[in-house]
């Protein structure tokens, strides 16, 4: 089975083609970073319009790179949520329309399920059941995964997501958009013990997260200490360490509570090297394993949508002819495969 995947949930247009026998045949991501940089964040209307301009040309490019024709595609998968409503509608309208024109089944894919399953694209893939840490600009969640569509939400952020806190703190420091990766790079030359930032909600039971208070603490230090290069590096290192410590502590707690030995980490923040190092130490101490998507599949991409869509399309799931999106969509509502 060969599936075309379309991702347009925010500020990346991702197109990919996944085949049962050949695996990933093509994979293209167009980023809108330059478009939104002047505004310091994503402008939803501009994002939607750019998806309109880019999606069809990128689909044609992906088909050419894969050596495919429309006739050789067996199904179309597109992100239907969570995400920006306008951006989602672009991918949904194009995906559903192409499927209708080609007389192929279409499937609306949950964006976070795509991230969760992205490590399955790797040669060394996890086996069910496992614990998943989904950590990105929009979500921070701990999920028990017993199979595709068999998800139990164990904890989530009650305010800012970890990636969002990275970006907002970077903006306060005057770093260019998107600031999260720049803050992580700056942290490499800083002293992570210089500032005693809080680790919110780690002194109480439970698996929920909170990062808005940490961001506020960083803002106060930035205002008081100034923005010299070394001060910025120390703030970045101390802030990053507080986020990583919080994520690792909650993962340890969740693994012990569930008794699971496999941890999947996905989403944009999963590319953070400091987080990877500390989670490697954690899983070694627990005699378990940690799995990641490839670095190119940590951020939003069409490959994860094509793969997630393939899993459900081959199980006989498909959409009707209506075009709809769900900007807020709990993953627990997904049917099992």
Taking only the tens of pLDDT, the chain with its 337 residues reads: 999 999 999 999 999 999 999 999 999 999 999 999 999 999 999 999 999 999 999 999 999 999 999 999 999 999 999 999 999 999 999 999 999 999 999 999 999 999 999 999 999 999 999 999 999 989 999 999 999 999 999 999 999 999 999 999 999 999 999 999 999 999 999 999 999 999 999 999 999 999 999 999 999 999 999 789 999 999 999 999 999 999 999 999 999 999 999 999 999 999 999 999 999 999 999 999 999 999 999 999 999 999 999 999 999 999 999 999 999 999 999 999 9
Predicted local distance difference test score (pLDDT) of residue 27:
98
The encoded tokens of residue 257 equal 């509570």
Say what angle helices 179-187 and 162-172 make with each other, to 10 degrees: 80
- Closest CA relative to residue 119, chosen from 287, 330, 290: 290
Binding residues for substrate: 134-138, 167, 180, 272
Residue 315, φ and ψ in degrees, nearest 5? -90, 0
Sign of CA dihedral 285, 291, 294, 299: negative
Predicted local distance difference test score (pLDDT) of residue 63:
98
Tell me the residue ranges of DSSP E strands in the chain: 2-7, 12-19, 23-31, 75-81, 106-110, 130-135, 140-147, 150-156, 262-266, 289-291
Predicted local distance difference test score (pLDDT) of residue 96:
98
C-alpha span between 20 and 22 (Å, rounded): 6
Sign of CA dihedral 85, 62, 178, 305: positive
Binding residues: 111, 115, 134-138, 167, 180, 272, 300
Other CB atoms within a 10 A radius of the CB of residue 123 amount to 6
Cα-based angle 180, 62, 135 (whole degrees, multiple of 5) = 25
Binding residues for Fe cation: 111, 115, 300
Predicted local distance difference test score (pLDDT) of residue 227:
80
Query: For residue 259, what are the β-bridge partners?
Result: none
The encoded tokens of residue 317 equal 């799931």
End-to-end CA distance of the chain: 16
């Amino acid at each position: 089975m060969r599936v075309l995947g379309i991702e347009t949930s925010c500020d990346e247009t991702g197109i990919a083609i996944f085949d049962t026998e050949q695996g990933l045949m093509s994979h293209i991501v167009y980023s809108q970073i330059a478009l939104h940089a002047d505004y310091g964040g994503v402008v939803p209307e501009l994002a939607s319009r750019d998806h309109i301009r880019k999606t069809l040309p990128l689909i044609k490019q992906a088909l050419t790179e894969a050596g495919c024709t429309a006739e050789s595609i067996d199904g179309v998968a597109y992100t239907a949520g969570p995400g920006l409503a306008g951006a989602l509608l672009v991918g949904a309208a194009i995906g559903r329309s192409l499927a209708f024109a080609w007389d192929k089944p279409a499937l609306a894919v949950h964006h976070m399920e795509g991230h969760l399953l992205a490590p399955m694209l790797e040669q060394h893939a996890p086996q069910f059941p496992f614990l998943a840490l989904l950590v990105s600009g929009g979500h921070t969640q701990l999920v028990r995964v017993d199979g595709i569509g068999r998800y139990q939400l164990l904890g989530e952020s009650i305010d800012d997501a970890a990636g969002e806190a990275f970006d907002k703190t970077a903006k306060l420091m005057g770093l260019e958009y998107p600031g999260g990766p720049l803050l992580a790079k700056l942290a490499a030359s800083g002293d992570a013990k210089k500032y005693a930032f809080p680790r919110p909600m780690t002194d109480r039971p439970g698996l929920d997260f909170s990062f808005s208070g940490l961001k506020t603490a960083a803002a106060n230090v930035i205002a008081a200490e100034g923005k010299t290069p070394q001060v910025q590096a120390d703030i970045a290192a101390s802030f990053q360490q507080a986020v990583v410590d919080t994520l690792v502590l909650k993962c340890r707690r969740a693994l012990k509570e569930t008794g699971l030995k496999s941890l999947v980490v996905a989403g944009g923040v999963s590319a953070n090297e400091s987080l990877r190092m500390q989670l490697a130490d954690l899983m070694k101490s627990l005699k378990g394993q940690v799995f990641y998507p490839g670095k190119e599949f940590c951020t939003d991409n069409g490959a994860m949508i094509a793969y997630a869509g393939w899993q459900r399309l081959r199980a006989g799931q498909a959409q009707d002819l209506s075009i709809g999106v769900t900007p807020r969509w709990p993953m627990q509502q997904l049917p099992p495969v």
